[in-house]
Amino acid sequence: MYIRSSTRTSAWVLGLVAVLLLGAALSALALLGERSLPERTGPPIEQLAVERTELTPGVIELTVRNTGPDPVQVAQVFVNDAYVDFAGTTEPIGRLGTDTLRLDYPWRDGQPYLVSMLTSTGLVIEHEIPVAVDTPRADAGFFGLMALLGTYVGIIPVLLGMMFLPLLRRAGGNAVRVLLAVTVGLLAFLVVDGTTEGFELAERTGGAFGGAALVVLGAVLAFLLLTAIDRWVRGRQQPAGGDARSGFGLALMIAVGIGLHNLGEGLAIGAAYAVGELALGTALVIGFALHNTTEGIAVVAPLTATRPSVLRLLALGLIAGAPAILGALLGAAVNNAELSAFLLGIGVGAIIQVIVQIMPTLRERADSVIDPLAIGGLIGGVLIMYLTGLLVAA
C-alpha cells in the first residue's frame, strides 16, 4: 500500500514538473519569438462580421465582431450608397471584440438594403439586409407566440406520432425490426439535415470561433457525453439483472436525440421569424405536423414489447418536442449564428449516438448481416423525411 501511494505521488510530481516546463518554454517563445521574427509587410488584415441586425423605426443597429488579426476602425457607413450618420465606439475594435453601430436611416418595411462600412484604411466591408422588417420586441406577447409556435411544430406533432403505438404493437417481430430500420432512416435524414443547416449557419459567423468546426465540436461533445451516460446507466442495470438496452431506455435516448435536433430546428424557426423570413400560417403548421409526426413514431418504435404508463409516454413526448419552444425563443431573441451552429451540432451528435445504439437491433441474429427488409426500411425512413420535409413552408 505504501509503495503504491509513493508511486502515485511521484507520478503527480512528474506531471506537475512537465506542465511547469511546458509553460516556461511557451513563455520564453512568446517573448523571444516576437523580437526575432520580422514585422509583417503589406496592409493590415481587416475583417468584420455582422452578428446581429436590429431594426427599429428610423434606426438600424448592427452588432459587429472583429474576426481578423488586426484592429478595425469604422470611419464611415453607407446604406445603398448614401452616407448616413452613425454612433459607435471611437476606438478601434480589437481582435474578437464587438461593437454596436447605430445608423440613423429612414428604412422602409420590406425593402432590401446594402450596408457598406468604410474602415480607416479605406477597406469596404458590406452587409446585406435582404428584407427590412421591424425587429420584434421581447415582451409577453412575443414569448407567448414563440411558445405557441414551438408547441405547434414540436410537441403536438411528436405526440400525434406516438399515438401509433397500439398499431405498432400488433406487428410481428420482422415488422418491428423493419420499423426500427425506418427509425434509423428517419434519424439519418435528421443528421444530414442538421449538419447541412449547421454548416450554412457557420458560414455567416465569420469564422471567429471556428465556423464549421463549431458544428463538429458540438457533435463530438454530444456523442461522447451520451455514450458515457449510456455506459454508466448500463453499468448500473447489469448487476441488478436488468436489460441494458431496455425498450424504454432506448426510447428515452431517441427522444433526447430528437429533442436536441428540435432545439436546433426551433432556433432556425425563431431566427427566420425575427428577420421576417418565416411565413406563419396554416401551411407551416400542417407541414411541420406531417414532418415531425414521424419523429413521434421513431420514439415509440422500441416500446412495442413493453407497456409504459401514460405519464412516461407524455414525458417522452415532451423531451422530444418541447425543446422546439426553447429553440424558437433563443432564435428570435438572441439570433446568434455561432450558438445556433453549435447547438445544431449537438443535435447531430446526439442522433448519431442513438443510431449507433439501434443498429444492432436491425440484425436477426448477432452474427448476421442486415436483411433486405431492414435495408428497405432504412431507405423508406429517409424518403419519408424527405417527402414530408417538402411540405414545410419555412
Asked if residues 299 and 292 have their Cβ atoms less than 8 Å apart, the reply is no
pLDDT at 220 over 60: yes
Rounded CA-CA distance 76/83 in Å is 8
Strands 74-79 and 113-119: antiparallel
pLDDT band for 107, please (50, 70, 90 cuts).
very high
What pLDDT is attached to residue 319?
92
| Residues 144, 125 share a domain | no
Last residue of a domain, one of 100, 129, 158: 129
Residue 376 in any domain: the answer is yes
pLDDT confidence bin for 244, thresholds 50/70/90: very low
pLDDT > 90? residue 132: no
132 vs 78 pLDDT, higher one: 78
326 or 267, which is more confident: 326
Residues 69, 160, single domain; the answer is: no
Q: What is the pLDDT of residue 236?
A: 61
Please give the residue range of the domain that contains residue 75. Answer: 48-129
Clarify whether residues 153 and 11 are in a common domain: no
Q: Which ranges of 127-172 does DSSP label H, i.e. alpha helix?
A: 140-150, 156-162, 165-169
More confident residue, 190 or 276: 190
pLDDT band, very low/low/confident/very high, at 354 (cuts 50, 70, 90): confident
pLDDT, tens digit, 9 for 90 and up, residues 166-207: 887 776 656 777 877 888 888 888 888 888 888 887 777 666
Q: Domain check: are 187 and 287 in the same one?
A: yes
What pLDDT is recorded for position 316? Answer: 92
Q: What gap in Å lies between CA 374 and CA 372, rounded to an integer?
A: 5
Asked whether the predicted pLDDT for residue 242 surpasses 50, the reply is no
Structural domain count, the chain = 3
**Whole-number pLDDT of residue 117:** 93
Residues 257 and 277 in one domain: yes
Tell me the per-residue pLDDT of 298-341, one tens digit each, with 9 for 90 and over: 888 888 878 888 899 999 999 999 998 888 888 777 666 777 78
Q: Are residues 324 and 222 in the same domain?
A: yes
Residue 394: inside a domain: no
Whether residue 297 is found in the same domain as residue 363: yes
**What pLDDT, on a 0 to 100 scale, did the predictor assign at position 308?**
84
Query: Which of residues 39 and 189 earns the better pLDDT score?
Result: 189
User: Residue 240 corresponds to which cell in the numbers above?
Assistant: 441488478
Q: Strand runs (DSSP E) across the chain, as ranges? A: 48-56, 59-66, 74-79, 82-84, 86-87, 98-104, 113-119, 124-129
Cell numbers standing for residue 180: 426500427
- 281 within a domain of the structure (yes/no): yes
Residue 30 is assigned to a structural domain of this protein: yes
Whether 314 is in a domain gets the answer: yes
Q: Are strands 113-119 and 98-104 parallel, antiparallel or unpaired?
A: unpaired
Length of the chain measured in residues: 394
Q: What is the pLDDT, as a whole number, of residue 389?
A: 72
Q: Is residue 42 in some structural domain? A: no
State whether 242 and 271 are in the same domain.
Answer: yes
User: C-alpha cell of 248?
Assistant: 424504454
Contact (Cβ atoms closer than 8 angstroms) between residue 364 and residue 165:
no
